[in-house]
Structure 1
Amino acid sequence: MDNTSMVQRSLRHVWHPCTQMKLHESQPLIPVSRADGVWLHDFEGHRYLDGISSWWVNLFGHNHPHIRAALIDQLGRLDHVMLAGFTHQSVVELSEKLAQLTGLGHAFYGSDGASATEIALKMSAHYWRNTGRPGKCRFVGLAGGYHGETVGALAVTDIAIFREAYAPLVRLAATVPSPDARCARPGESAVDVAGRAAGALQAWLEQHHAETAALIVEPLVQCAAGMAMHDASYLRGVRALCDRYEVHLVVDEIATGFGRTGTMFAHQQAGIRPDFICLSKGLTGGTLPLSAVLTTDTVYQAFYDDDVARGFLHSHSYTGNPLACRAALATLELFEQNDVLAGNVAVARSLTAAFAPLTAHPRVRNARQLGMIWAWDVADALPGFSRRYYQHALAQGVLLRPIGNTIYAMPPYVMDEESSGFLARGALAALQATLAEEAAHG
């Protein structure tokens, strides 16, 4: 097998996600034959450092022996059984561990992040219906928020390119200002921006709380908005407002969970407990699709009834799949065995030092880092910057995929000094090559 034949076969039959397929007339696909640690390998011996954890899912490197061994063992015991009327060891143990980690004792499973969003929104609105307040059935989200691309998730996603084509299908949620620290006015701090955004939410809830079921927030980092980071005080403010106005707080930890921001879950840096937590991506260490929605005893009890219609009847055939749950358990075991959060502090320090030349580049603005996330905005970038940068990064042997004019890195936690240097040098070289191309073609 070679790269060319695999690419031709893929273009003939595979419709790739988040892609204008015509672009592949000039932007070749990268066929991957295998992956180990932080490296992706093609069919002809080239390798690429996975600087974005394959869309933010891979925590401990590809083909991790502990997760692989757990999956092999699970496959020999139980591949799948429906979770309606049945249960199994992996889903029970995973649910117990997630309850210990979050303080939310009831886990409902889906397949991906958008599914988790849909589950949480449906569960919130149904809760209010079951408690005699069916008018509370609308939602509010943040400007620039992203929570998935199914129809329900698009209702609370504020990124036009994903949503506009489907506008007739979507029941749009309300949108309130983001606490993005880049929005600071002269003399303002990140805390000031957070307070201003919380004030705007308060003004909105004062008028609309009677019809509002839930607020959904990406805690600390709005990833698809260009790694927009905010101060933790915002989360404390919105928790208080949701309590005051009887609105559920849903935290979307799909991208920020499992150590990505420095704590196990981002909302924990604010010292709050949400009503719902949405999890996916890193949940299985980047091996199998799985998502979970965790919620409180209060929400759970509102569905517990003799009337079947008061139950939460959402389902899919692979809910709580044993293989995916076992991968998640193995991932959580790695956190327990290796003190990952403490180790990530040292990894992040090394990477930040390696990225210093990129941070100092004269075209870079708003360099920022939180946990194992880095981002840099490129001033005066021309249209198509992200596509050109991505190609130049691949030429350097690194997978980096900017969001608009924002370069970001979100690598696996197993980066060492050598791979960190390789990633940082490749990121800078790709920027220099992209800007040179822009200058040459104006």
Structure 2
Amino acid sequence: MSLSQRDQKHNWHPYTQHKTASPAVAITKGQGALLWDENGKEYIDAIASWWVNPYGHSNKYIADAIYKQLTSLEHVLFGGFTHEPAVVLSEKLIEILPSNQRKLFYSDNGSTAVEVAIKAALQFHYNKGTTKTKIIAFEDAFHGDTFGAMAASGISLFTEAFQGSLLEVVRVPIPTKGNEDKALAVLNDFFATNACAAFIFEPLVLGAAGMVMYSPEVLDKMIALCKEHSVFTIADEVMAGFGKTGKTFATDYLVNKPDMMCLSKALTGGTIPMAITTFTQEIFDGFYDEDINKALFHGHTFTANPTGCAAAIASLELLQTEEMQENVIRINKHHLDFESKIINHPRVETTRVLGVIFALEIKSERKESYYGTLRNKLYNFFIENGVVLRPVGNIVYILPPYIITDTQLQKVYQTIEDALENV
């Protein structure tokens, strides 16, 4: 029995309707930007395995850091204890985060990083004796699958079964080009009731919505409006952080900095689940009190796991190398060249590029569903041709590991061109 057949006996995969889905591809090895399945077939991982793996699979530098940590201290509870990897990681992150970020809270994935931020925003006002219970978020946002993160998300396919069980969230249109004034006006209207605790956003690019992009200038205006009305801002950098947009963080493009930031995915280079929510001193001080009930009662068993911290430290060191920074520039240049080549293709509606992110929208007579027929045909075509890409409806995007070679990148582009002609 093959590995993929054995998998079907017991494993329940994410975002999968098992009655109609093809068997999962069984991967047995990864190296650099490549993966190999149980039959020896080679694939280019053109989305860095859901955006987590910028330094390549089986990265020796990160693996060595993990091994070294495992042989000295694999884990210790973070309640009442601390350890050097957590302290060193906090020091390294504070050096590169926006200067208003002063405190770090550890968790285990992007959803929980968002959950911590939302809980902190709501409890801050509760601690102060004020009533602010609403969250502001973009239409079509995606912030995760735990309940607070799901509430802030706007993709109904993922959330419609839970309507009526979620936090109250008000929606702002995505401020794409030509839509900025409307988005700003809608946001401003929400402040009239004085009931909004926080505005959460994916800075500059909404990943799960199909890499929808908007300008730093309009986001700066939105953050300024929130500050004017004492509404906290939460930058969900889970996807965009650690170089994806061409800067270390997407918020590095901004003049006005958020009050909280959510980090995960590439934080540990795709090795160990870990997340961090960062805060201003003002927010931390809202919990700093003689009253134990005003503490932030959140955590989990593996909070600030030393091995995960060691992986994150190694990942940050790799990100800051000259080679990796040059790779980001190199990929961006190739994306722009491909955009120039493909933008006038008769089947291409629009294209967009930011940092290592490339996206194109295929012309369609009707709006394609998230897991619709066209998406599935495209996905299968890419897999058959040895390229891992996961289209969002009729939007095809590339978000590769930074170590992808020019030859591998050109094959990804060619496969997309072939799909435009054949699917």
TM-score by length of 1: 0.91
1:140 touches 1:173 (CA, 8 Å); kept in 2?
A: yes
Alignment pair present for 1:229 and 2:213: yes
Give 1:106-255 correspondences, 5 Å limit. Answer: 106-133=103-130, 135-181=131-177, 184=178, 193-205=179-191, 207-208=192-193, 210-255=194-239
Which residue of structure 1 lines up, in the alignment, with residue 10 of structure 2? 13
Q: Distance in 1 between matches of 2:18 and 2:342?
A: 31
Alignment pair present for 1:34 and 2:29: yes
Which residue of structure 1 lines up, in the alignment, with residue 92 of structure 2? 97
1:127 touches 1:303 (CA, 8 Å); kept in 2?
A: yes
Q: Which amino acid aligns with 1:425?
A: Q
1:347 touches 1:416 (CA, 8 Å); kept in 2?
A: no
Q: Distance in 1 between matches of 2:339 and 2:150?
A: 34
1:194 touches 1:231 (CA, 8 Å); kept in 2?
A: no
Which residue of structure 2 lines up, in the alignment, with residue 422 of structure 1? 411
> Cα RMSD (Å) of the superposition?
1.4
Which residue of structure 2 lines up, in the alignment, with residue 332 of structure 1? 316
Question: How far does residue 97 in structure 1 lie from its aligned partner after superposition?
Answer: 1.4
Choose between structure 1 and 2: higher helix proportion: 1
2:25 touches 2:37 (CA, 8 Å); kept in 1?
A: yes
Q: Which amino acid aligns with 1:200?
A: V
Question: How far does residue 106 in structure 1 lie from its aligned partner after superposition?
Answer: 0.5
Q: Distance in 2 between matches of 1:152 and 1:64?
A: 34
Which residue of structure 2 lines up, in the alignment, with residue 360 of structure 1? 344
Which residue of structure 1 lines up, in the alignment, with residue 391 of structure 2? 402
TM-score by length of 2: 0.95
Alignment pair present for 1:23 and 2:9: no
Unaligned runs of 5+ in 1: 185-192, 435-442
Q: Distance in 2 between matches of 1:403 and 1:17?
A: 15
Identity score, percent: 35
Q: Distance in 2 between matches of 1:218 and 1:138?
A: 18
Question: How far does residue 66 in structure 1 lie from its aligned partner after superposition?
Answer: 0.8
Q: Which amino acid aligns with 1:272?
A: N
Match of 1:78 among 64, 73, 78: 73
Give 1:37-56 correspondences, 5 Å limit. Answer: 37-56=32-51
Question: How far does residue 357 in structure 1 lie from its aligned partner after superposition?
Answer: 4.3
Q: Distance in 2 between matches of 1:392 and 1:357?
A: 21
1:94 touches 1:328 (CA, 8 Å); kept in 2?
A: yes
Question: How far does residue 5 in structure 1 lie from its aligned partner after superposition?
Answer: 1.4
Deviations 1:392-416 (A, max 9, x none): 0011110011001101111111122
Question: How far does residue 44 in structure 1 lie from its aligned partner after superposition?
Answer: 1.5
Runs of 4+ in 1 over 4 A off after TM superposition: 354-357
Question: How far does residue 7 in structure 1 lie from its aligned partner after superposition?
Answer: 1.0
Question: How far does residue 355 in structure 1 lie from its aligned partner after superposition?
Answer: 5.5
Match of 2:64 among 63, 69, 85: 69
Q: Which amino acid aligns with 1:95?
A: S
Q: Which amino acid aligns with 1:407?
A: V
| Local SS of the residue matching 2:397 | strand
Q: Distance in 2 between matches of 1:73 and 1:244?
A: 48
Aligned length: 416
Question: How far does residue 225 in structure 1 lie from its aligned partner after superposition?
Answer: 1.0
| Local SS of the residue matching 1:168 | coil
Which residue of structure 2 lines up, in the alignment, with residue 343 of structure 1? 327
Question: How far does residue 216 in structure 1 lie from its aligned partner after superposition?
Answer: 0.3
Q: Which amino acid aligns with 1:51?
A: A
Q: Distance in 2 between matches of 1:180 and 1:157?
A: 18
Q: Distance in 2 between matches of 1:347 and 1:158?
A: 30
Deviations 1:101-131 (A, max 9, x none): 1121110011111101110000011111122
Q: Distance in 1 between matches of 2:360 and 2:294?
A: 48
